[in-house]
Structure 1
Amino acid sequence: MGDWKIGDDRRRRSTDQLQSLREANDGQVAWDTEAPADFTFLYHPDRILVRASDVEGFDQAVARLAKGVLLGEPVRDDTRLLDGELVRYLLPDRAEDRTVIEVLELLEESGLPLGAASPDHWVHISPGGPGGSACPAIEPQETGLTEPWPPVAPQEKGQEVSVVVVDTGWHPPAANDPRTPWLKGVDGDDELNGPALRPYAGHGTFIAGVVRCVAPVTKVFVEGFAIGGVGGGGILESDLVEQLEEALAHDPQVINLSAGCRTRLDLPSIAFETFYRTRLQKVDCVLVAAAGNDSWAAPFWPAAFDWCVGVGSLDRNGRVSAYSNFGVSADVYALGRNLVNAFPDGTFECNETPDKGDIRVFDSGMARWSGTSFAAPVVAGLIAREISETGASAKDARDVVLTRADYDSDPTIGPMMELRQPYPRP
């Protein structure tokens, strides 16, 4: 299906990432274009998601399909997602090998409302393009620096604030490593690192470190969804909302999610919308998400929701990074280029063009990394710090932090808000 090798470095890099994701998930990854490098969104080839309120309409639309389109009946998953508010169907074999996308089009032609059902999209932490990215914009790089950047911001007073980083998992030695003292007390799901570092190793640990540097008086837990490299840095949206539900068990005031996805027809993600409606809006907690690294203005979910703080990336000169998404997915921009923070020691083999096959040796407990994944925890930390120092609610703290941002205007992007400084002003 398409040519996996043709194109420039950006296109080849996209196919490198897509091949890795497919191999890690037994081939259960489909895309919406002929050429893999041109995909807009990724999805499970046999699953459909339906809101509980739309199940009856879905079943009726299935019954109206022409005989032979489906070679059997859709099987309703018995997993109760979000107390049954989100329903997952497994499609049977289809005539002419019709894709999930083609079946959805036929269902909509037979009367199913647009947006009532959706593919189960793949959410990914890696760069992509044009549609599969959230972070990093590059693979991790060695650094000779021994201090983090942004540096640890001194905080003399404040109440402890709970922050959950939903990511690849946690590298436990970092909590007691004298080279990374700002991570003392951080906990999370062990990502099981060895001397040979897998793709995406250290992503969650690095992000936890950024949060702690901005907001030292925080209790940080890293909820892992790709432990041991499972999933190739990706997770289906229906599975991710279960991880977000588990994150809420830690009573966080802030959740950082440096991941996201594009969707079919750019429709809002059913899974994330249902999570918000049934869970997040009922508690005082703010979700901060990466805006993605596709250099596009198209919606990237969940960052594009109005209830989520979507964060784009800035370079050191205060300009939007070339890789950063903008528009509806970026409510605010923060430093996302060449951050330095904690990273596991070990040997890393690059997996992506043009560095594929290069060997990088990490032995300082630190790495340099770029992407909207790392801009997001700067903002998550600012919100946590505001809560800590003022006792504000999470939502009020979010509003205060966004109000502090400097307004600017770029003729290619339009109005935007830039957090030019990584820490609150005096």
Structure 2
Amino acid sequence: MSVPEERGDPKFLSQLEALRDAAGPAGIEVEIGYNRQGAPVTAYQKGHLLVRDADLGEVLRVVPGAAPAGDSRSGVTRVDTGGRAALDAHAELGQRMRRGAASLNHIVSIAPTGLCPGDEPAPAGPLPNPAVNPDDKAGAGVVVKVIDTGLVPIRNHSWLAVGVTGGMNTIENAEDPTLIREYAGHGTFIAGILKCVAPAAWVDVSNALPFAGAVPEDELGDQLLRELPPEGERWPDIISISAGASTGNNAPLVGLERFVEQLGRHEETVLVAAAGNHGDRVPFWPAALAGPFPEPMPGVVSVGALSDSGTSMACFSNHGPWVSVYAPGERLVNAFIEGRYKYRDPQEGHCRYYPPPQPDDDCTCMSAPPEHSIATMSGMARWSGTSFATPMVAGMIAVRMSKTKESSRQAAAALLAGAGHLQGVGPVLIPPGWFPA
């Protein structure tokens, strides 16, 4: 499925292939877009655009051979470009219609540009980090919806035994059933972190990202509205999403517009979103809704990652004025699937974003251990990424809600107002149970 002109660092290309392998059975072909410097910035569905329903008729007139590829979903219609490259059709529409009349159908992923979390999971000991909160009432009465890869039943982990539900993703690798499917344990790991911070919170893990932790944005927008209560009914207190996309033109995701509109009307809900692992300032959506571009949206908290020492930003973390807060996100330890895991990118002995921001910061961006291509996982893993800083913050909001009886947005605002400040990074939140690696 590779396209000859594709370029990028080997880790990016190998993770793109993982996404394609997973999405292939669903008929989704994936391409990548580059910035002016030749670096990959986004992944999108080949030969398709997203068009707001109000603009559909005009777009079909402007693009010869274009046709709807399905019914309207979440206020937008996916359009087949009739054999034209999606980028070319998008550029022509930008010249002949108002800017923003159509968008690429971006791939929303737990593994965005770089197409990978901070690293791949490695075997770990039995103690989670953050540790289980000794206050077993922390988070009581709070409902958290996790948008991720589903929940895999895990044995012998007390913090996941009660108050966790979710749809289950496929566990087995399609090519080799004896291996764990890539990223199948991502949602479980996140649920484990949440329950360690807020043991009494009710956590429901959605299987909304089935293709190696990815899905086209129009499908995600539709899935979110199917899974959340209908208009007029109460939404979860907290929605936690450790996935997103950059869009090349720094515009928000069109396919999530209907969800975002409804979120704005549900003042009882806060969206906590991962800032992404590009290691730069490029807006990453939906986290970048936290502001300042196009304007800060109330009820959205974007989360970057701190290094495992807690004294600097993790080298892989996105950053910039649109990131609300940073929390520990490097070498965390929590629940994972039991079985054999094959590393797609064995460790090469240096950081992908080498040199690290600090001379003494042994940044973790590659997989481990270096001497093995296959590791045996025994139910716990060590993993890094803004994905995992996000449930820490979601859990801290839940804990405060249960203690103060504030709404989720009030609790989030109070936590951010009282956050510590790390010079050169920004606001930081660290849960009491976290300890430096």
TM class by shorter chain equals: 0.7 to 0.9
Identity value in percent: 34
The equivalent of 1:393 in structure 2 is: 407
Matched, 1:199 2:182: yes
Cα 1:35–1:352 change in 2 (3 A) is: farther
The equivalent of 1:409 in structure 2 is: 423
SS of alignment partner, residue 106 of structure 2: strand
The equivalent of 1:323 in structure 2 is: 316
RMSD between aligned residues: 2.6
- Structure 1, unmatched stretches of 5+, are none
| Rounded Cα–Cα distance in structure 2 between residues aligned with 1:256 and 1:45 | 29
Matched, 1:128 2:113: yes
| Rounded Cα–Cα distance in structure 1 between residues aligned with 2:35 and 2:322 | 26
- Maintained 8 Å contact 2:235/2:268: no
Matched, 1:237 2:217: yes
| Rounded Cα–Cα distance in structure 2 between residues aligned with 1:39 and 1:422 | 38
* 1:19 CA drift (Å): 1.4
The equivalent of 1:109 in structure 2 is: 95
Matched, 1:209 2:192: yes
Matched, 1:164 2:145: yes
SS of alignment partner, residue 23 of structure 1: helix
Equivalent residue for 1:91, pick from 81, 90, 101: 81
- Cα offsets for 1:269-311 (capped at 9, x unmatched): 1122331113453351111111111111010000100232110
| Rounded Cα–Cα distance in structure 1 between residues aligned with 2:66 and 2:128 | 55
- Maintained 8 Å contact 2:243/2:387: yes
Cα 1:384–1:37 change in 2 (3 A) is: farther
The equivalent of 2:283 in structure 1 is: 299
SS of alignment partner, residue 284 of structure 1: coil
SS of alignment partner, residue 51 of structure 2: strand
- Maintained 8 Å contact 1:340/1:369: yes
Amino acid at match of 2:169: E
- Maintained 8 Å contact 1:18/1:36: no
Equivalent residue for 1:361, pick from 348, 373, 376: 376
1:25-40 to structure 2, matched below 5 A, reads 25-26=23-24, 28-33=29-34, 38-40=39-41
- Maintained 8 Å contact 2:311/2:422: no
Amino acid at match of 2:284: F
SS of alignment partner, residue 120 of structure 2: coil
- Maintained 8 Å contact 1:298/1:328: no
- Maintained 8 Å contact 2:275/2:386: yes
- Maintained 8 Å contact 2:304/2:326: yes
Amino acid at match of 1:39: P
SS of alignment partner, residue 210 of structure 1: helix
- Maintained 8 Å contact 2:341/2:374: yes
* 1:358 CA drift (Å): 0.3
The equivalent of 1:338 in structure 2 is: 331
* 1:339 CA drift (Å): 0.6
Query: TM-score, normalised on structure 2?
Result: 0.82
| Rounded Cα–Cα distance in structure 2 between residues aligned with 1:346 and 1:237 | 31
SS of alignment partner, residue 25 of structure 1: helix
The equivalent of 1:18 in structure 2 is: 16
- Cα offsets for 1:376-412 (capped at 9, x unmatched): 00001011111122211111111012112112331xx
| Rounded Cα–Cα distance in structure 2 between residues aligned with 1:19 and 1:236 | 16
Amino acid at match of 2:400: E
1:41-80 to structure 2, matched below 5 A, reads 41-52=42-53, 54-55=54-55, 58-63=56-61, 65=62, 70=64, 72-75=65-68, 77-78=70-71, 80=72
Cα 1:241–1:407 change in 2 (3 A) is: same
The equivalent of 1:419 in structure 2 is: 429
| Rounded Cα–Cα distance in structure 2 between residues aligned with 1:284 and 1:12 | 43
Equivalent residue for 1:149, pick from 115, 129, 133: 129
1:172-321 to structure 2, matched below 5 A, reads 172=153, 174=154, 177-194=155-172, 196-227=179-210, 231-249=211-229, 251-279=235-263, 281-306=265-290, 307=297, 308-315=300-307, 316-321=309-314
- Cα offsets for 1:245-268 (capped at 9, x unmatched): 234239411111111100031111
- Maintained 8 Å contact 2:159/2:196: no
- Cα offsets for 1:137-174 (capped at 9, x unmatched): 1110001x2121110112254632111111111112x2
SS of alignment partner, residue 264 of structure 1: coil
* 1:38 CA drift (Å): 2.7
SS of alignment partner, residue 188 of structure 2: helix
- Cα offsets for 1:316-372 (capped at 9, x unmatched): 232100110001442100000111111111000111254597001012x21111110
The equivalent of 2:86 in structure 1 is: 100
| Rounded Cα–Cα distance in structure 2 between residues aligned with 1:169 and 1:269 | 23
